[in-house]
Amino acid sequence: MHDPDAEDVAKAGRGDRDAAARLIARHSAKLLTVAGRMLSSRAEAEDAVQEVFLRLWTHAGRWRPGSAKFETWLYRVMLNQCYDRLRRRPTQPLEEAAEVADEAALPGVGLDDGQMGREIARALETLPERQKAAILLCHFKECGNIEAAEIMGLSVEALESLLARGRRALRAQLQHLKGFAGDGP
């Protein structure tokens, strides 16, 4: 299997700054997008991506291209970073959680793009972390199911089940957005 990153990883491990810059340019934006949606916090996502790249530099010299692609390892490290950060967060009090998820209070019609985006982001935020990760990998990283399953350390069937449940939950949460383009084909 050809791994487009393998050569740059090895070079970066030996101190080649240009190779490091190429890896950063290739991966940082997408990692930041997925981490940002996972953590719902821009600052925390930036910290997480910094940490992922530090781990990359630490391990780059010993990277051996094998059966797994480098990118798979990179995203797995990023997801573990996100899971750790989510679990370290204090539990939200019930009253606050209820305020956030109060769908009945939402107008449903006449939302502008910004409001619509915030509604969707909020619905995504309420998904269980593994369902959210599966959806984000498939949508924002444009992973196939096999690659996403490999990143998450799951079987393809388990990933498909997470995806199906996550999408169903997302739809149920956003059903109140009338006139939303997802209703039709």
Partner 1 sequence: MTDESSDRTFADRALKRLPAEVPPPGFEAALLAAYDAWHARRPQGRWAALGAGLRQFSESIWPGAPAWAPASAFAFALLLGAGLGVTLPSVLADEQPTFSLEQPAAFSLSAADAAQEDM
Minimum Å gap between C-beta 102 and partner 1 is 19
56-115 binders of partner 1 (CB under 8 A):
57-59, 61-62, 73, 76-81, 84, 113-114
Size of the site for partner 1 (CB under 8 A): 58
Q: How far apart are CA 42 and CA 27, in angstroms?
A: 17
Q: The tokens 């924002």 sit on which residue?
A: 140
Q: List, in sequence order, every beta strand (DSSP E) within 131-180.
A: none
As a whole number of angstroms, the distance between CA 157 and CA 93 comes to 35
Does residue 122 touch partner 1 according to CB under 8 A? no
Please tell me the distance from the alpha carbon of residue 80 to that of residue 74, in angstroms, as a whole number.
10
> Per DSSP, which regions of the chain are E strands?
none
Residues forming the site for partner 1 (CB under 8 A)? 12, 15, 17, 20-21, 24-25, 28-29, 32-33, 36-37, 42, 46, 49-50, 52-55, 57-59, 61-62, 73, 76-81, 84, 113-114, 116-117, 120-121, 123-124, 135, 139-140, 163-164, 166-168, 170-171, 174, 180-183, 185
